[in-house]
Structure 1
Amino acid sequence: MATPSSSSTNIMLSITEKKTTSIDLYRPLRNYIVFNYSEREAQNLEDDLQSLKEMRSNIERSSAADSVHARRDLLQSYFKALTAVESRFPISPDKDHVNSVTFTWYDAFKTRNKASQQNVHFEKAAVLFNLGAVHSQIGLACDRSTVDGRRQASHSFIAAAGAFAYLRDNEATKASVGVSTTVDVSVECAGMLERLMLAQAQECVFENTIAKGSTPGVCAKISRQVGLYYEEAVAALNVAPLSQHFDRSWVSHVQLKAALFHAEACYRYSVELHEKEEIGEEIARLNTGITALSDAKKSAPRGAPQQILDAMNKLEINLNSNLDRAMKENDRVYLMRVPQVSSLAPLPSFSLVKPMNMNDVLDASKDKMFASLVPDNSAKALSRYTEMVDDVIRTQAEMLQQGSELARVNLKEMNLPDSLFALEGHSVLPTALWEDVEAVQVSGGPAALQGELQQLQDLRRVNHELLVQTEELLQKEAAEDAQFRSQFGTRWTRPQSTTLTKNLQDRVNKFAANLKQAGDSDGKIERSVRENMALMSILDTRPIESALPTLARPIMSLDANEDAVVGALKQSLRQLEALGAQRAGLEDMLKDMKTKDDILPKLMTSTGSYEDLFRKEIAKYDHICEQISQNLQAQERLLLQIQAQNSQFASTFNVEDYKASCEKCYKHIEAAVAKYREIKENINEGLKFYVTLQEAITNIKQQASDFVMTRNIQCREMIEDVQRQISGLSFQDGRNSSTHNYSSQTVPTSTPNTARPHTPYYQQPPSGYVQQPPPYSMHPPSGGSPYPPQQPGQQPGPAGHEYGQPAYPGWQGSYYNPQGQQPPYHNGYHKQ
């Protein structure tokens, strides 16, 4: 039931809270989690279940003895918890839902009436009603004898109006669909209570306006709005279902307040009319106020609030007093016609209050209760919203990139800002060409080519010396072999050196021929360096930009506006750069917004259409999309301006001739880079050739050295064998000429194994002895070469490679020349 309260001015109403019965939410919800999710999930959510259970118990035990502020906070927390429950636990009679929970609540105005529903919206509607009731009680408890007290009271009534408006718009309909409910949570009752709370909030504002001494016109407008709010409440109370639901004295209170503030507005407005000397309308307004008060008092039932009646009587006295004064003045002075009441315009009104927006107060999206339970419909809705956001981000990002690319292309076509840099003496090479020059300078540049040519000469000399040493080894061994062959004649039976070293000698000769051909290539490279050094010398300029032409100011100026032209163009380019920086910032903002845009909590707590929520949430990107559009439009205008300014700049500073000079210089540098690369490639090929050839010559020199060493060992053994043969022949001749009769001597035969005749070196070795072949067999089998047989077409190659195979892919070694190809060191090394 409504509770009246008196103050120094007037009395107001507060709303009594609804009562409920005990209910167990813990067990049914936990069972649902276990059945649809898992026992582990139920254990993880134990704290949330206990918190919900505790809040419901506190709601059940709530009484007037508790602090109104504590009850307010409890109701707000419980409502948020119910929002989380609504999105995760379907409570209804359906067998697959939570069907063992029934909410029961009593009507706040007819306490014998009650309703029971298996519907969480009924529970939420009751909680919202009680929240509005508690706010009204807080407002009624404020001390309205002070300015701050009236301001606090007004704020509380506004909050109460917000709670009832939220009930009407969000839960009242859902709580009464297809089932019976109490009248106090109906749409009609919630709307009436919202108007009543706004009337009392505006009344507090009116009391403060009077206390501040505001003008009669302002007071009239504010008091008239108070009356209008009360009149709207009276209109709702006089129709079903509220017409028979409220106590008569309570209805009488609202009706009397409506008449009181209508008359108050007439009184305040008449004072303003009197000051304007509009006496005729003043009399009509005073009569209207008196009539309103008289009619209200006549229809007031017994037991009507005496304080309101006293205020009405006091106001009626003031109205009559002013009416008498106005009529006398009109009769004696003004003689104005008094208009009919029906012809008067409605009194002006002005509202200074509106229902508090409870969306933020009751927003459960930031609460973590039951956050781990995500139903499929919420997950699907989130996916759909994410696609919408991705589409927005992708579209805007593409627009930003296109804008930046458009600016870049336009500036490049206008040769900006390079032309301005050239005017300041800082010409710029194209990026690709600058990188080519940088690579040339890092590698040493043309100045370092002489040192590399010297490396070629040194390597050729080393290779030549190795070949000479190899030939000297073979020639010395051949000379010694020829000497012994001449000395011993037919007894010197080993093969001639020239026969055994034919393959080695052929390879040495080929290496010598290739080395001579490589020398010719070296000469061509040296000539190319000398002939092109003037062309390539530009590459040694550091920095290379200093070799470029500069853009000079005109020698003669007719109007001396060059600085203004340059300044305007620079200013426009700075603005264009600022727009580019803004685009970069907008792109970062888009990414940051997407990262932080998590609407899952709102989806989980939403009670309306997902599409409505999507439209509301996606709208937060509208602002940045508008900024992107404005940025691109500003850039488009600025590029047109820059184009015009650049045309003036080009004609003033003769940019066309400068560009022609730059193009000529670019071609010079490109030709120098190309020639340098050609020579550098030939030199590198030469260095690789000489290094590879040196390995091969070193290898063949080692073979020659091993051959000579083996031949020397065999030479000594053959000399000893020949000497033994010669000694044996001499001994036989001695026996034949001796006077002694060696045949009469007895040769022992009893011990044949105690003395063995001398075995020649080349006779068969004893049984069981395995003779190891020397590194180079001096007696090739079947009259062939003593070296391992070569495959058809195979030639010996450098160490580490199978002879006959090129050392590097694509490079035909100078000592390997299949199919009659030209030596690569000549072709690849010196470009024809």
Structure 2
Amino acid sequence: MFLSCKKSEVVVELSVLATASEGAFEDQRREPSGPSQGQRDLWTLQQLRERSMSAVQEVESGTGITLLRLSMGADEVTLFNAISAVASYASQLRALSAKVNLDDQKLVQFVWTNALNSASFSSHKLAFELGAVLFNAATLLSTTGRATVMSIDPAHRGTFPAAIKAACNALLTAAAAFQEIKTVFPLSQDSACIDFTPAVLDALEAVLIADAQELFLKKAVFDNMSPSTIAKLASGTAETFRRAYTLLAASSINGVFPAYWIQLARGKLGLYEGISFYNQSKVVAATSDAGFYGIQIAWLRAAQNALKSVHVEVFDGGANLAMRILKGVTGADTSAGFYFQESLNRVKAEVMATMEFVNGVLVPAEKDNDIIYVESVPALSALTMPTAAIMVKPDIAPLFDIYITNKIFPPLFETLTPLYIRQSQERYLKVRTEHLQPIEDLQTATTNCRTGLASINLPNAIESVFKPDSQILLEMQQTVMRDCVGDAERNGQVPPLAHMMQSAASLLLSQRDKTVQLLRAARAALDTEEAEDAEMRHGFGARWARVESTELTRGLREAIGGYADKLDDAQASDAIVLGKVDGNFQNLALLGDEGLLSVLIQGGGGGPLGESGIAAEAASRDEVNKLKGALALLNDLISKRELLFQDVQAAKAADDILPSILEASNGVHVMNEEDVFMANLKKYDAFVETSLASLTTQNNIMALITTRNQKFMEWVQTNERLTKRTEFIADHARGVALFKEIMTNLGAGIEFYTDFEPILKKLLVNCQDFCMTRGIEKKELLAELQQKSISQERQVWDGNLSSLNFKFDHNPPPSAPPPFKRQ
């Protein structure tokens, strides 16, 4: 092989791509159930990928496919099938890439090994996969082209032109594939994927172009074309190898390519420069211009210098350097070693032959000029260089037109909308958004209008000013019923709020007393038991041998202390709440007194605050009526917009630009896209005009409302009676809030004591159980001590009796009297 293929040993499941691109693979379902056509195409693409991998592996896995075998006609079918498999996969990847953008989805990870340094590189982009496949296609094609070149035999004049054409097409297609990688997957020069860096791809492309250009020169020589044509073609060939040599030897990719690549390019550069100069000398020799002999010698000398230079640099006066270059190559890679050894041998032979030929012409020419013509020989820089005729240009089309023999019918992903169509749809949506901006502005203005009216409290402010006293009184009572009374209502009657607060406070105190008594009883039980234990210990001293009560009651007393602290904190909070009750009792008691509220709301230092007093100011009322009329116009305007917005949404939902885009498409892009968009947007023109008119009307009405509202507010703020009524209503609201706060606090306290009571009851039971157990223990220990005391007294008595030394006859005669019987 001329160059190794890239390898991928990581299994990639392409079917996961079906979840990408907003359902792009689902929108062309051909059956009611089962996979869509797009999903089936992905499965086929998966098979193509696996087949291309197997084909490349077969070519490179030691099956014996080498340039030597290929040059002899062996393994051509295997290599052609490998190119066909790779090209088939690449063509379908191109089709998929043209229709959906999967780069941002990150659904799969493609991993490939570099061909030039065996390092791995991965990417989630489909373009990276396509680039790797194109690289392998280029590698296989270059192998085919070079094998064809090696098999060319000018002696077979019938097959020579066809072989030249086939080799040239393969090389240029490979060059185009390398060139396309830079477009489909551009990378920076410092990328870890060395195969895809611009400098490497440029060098590979340049080498293949130079090889193809070389074939054109061979064909010209084969066809016996004129020296002028050959000189131009040779000059073009030298230029292509000069570019290849420069790119291969670039410092940015130093060490990437083997040295023999660079030396071969340098050798061919010198060879074809010499051939170009030699044929240019023949062109000059055919003219009759004055001084032609000196110019002919100048071209011959230039040819000789070019050939000598490459002979010294590359071949070191022979084949030594070339063979040193090939050391380590032939053993490691028989195919590459054979190709470059053969190529270098051919170049060396041609250089030597051309040098000999040029020298055979130059020596007699210089002798004739010295004796006969005596013309000056110009320097090479003074000569006009032959026009470089470069006849080759990379073309990737043959890869997909010639090598894919088993094309898929119909092609994959035909049911998917092409990417340029989808992009056109996206552009249309952006244009439509801009076109409908007045409608969006109207929606924003509607929201701002409602927010603005709410901020100045219209129309609620108007309604509150002209609300009758009876209505205000009713609302106050409703507020009290809702916020203060709640579930306490009975039969539609509002209980006195003072009674509610008093009842809650009494219940709080009652619950608190219960908990205090429970805690006190628990502490008293322990105190009594400890006092009894201490009394017994004092009376019996060391004989009262049991654990002291203070040690046993430590845990219970700590619990009692903790609960006592909680009760102290609760009582402190109670004091604050009960202080609020006492301080606000009289005022809060008025909240639910309907009669008293009625008197207060209608009386005061400013006189009656009722509707009759307000209605007397007819001028102000007329101004307010105008304000209310403007608000009515605004409400009517906004209500009509809702229908407009609904119609616009319905039009957008039914808006399908795709048929129009497809009709205007030429298969590559959308023709006259802007005209297509504007024709489709005409359906919205009436909506836009209505929106603009409505917005103008709103601005006018809002200006009127602002002016009249300012006058209304000035009147409200300067009316003393309204001010007092407003203050009274605010005071009532604050009273309601205070009542709710107090009742909430009382409720929280009652709940605390209610929840605390069973805890303290349990504590009391524990203390009582402990005292009872200790009482039983005390009785048992006391009885034991008393028994010990009696036993000890008896022992003392018995000892006293024995000390008297009384002797008793226990067997007296029958006639003897009892021992203690009084005589």
Structures share a fold, TM > 0.5?
no
TM-score band, normalised by shorter chain: 0.3 to 0.5
- TM-score w.r.t. the length of structure 2 is 0.42
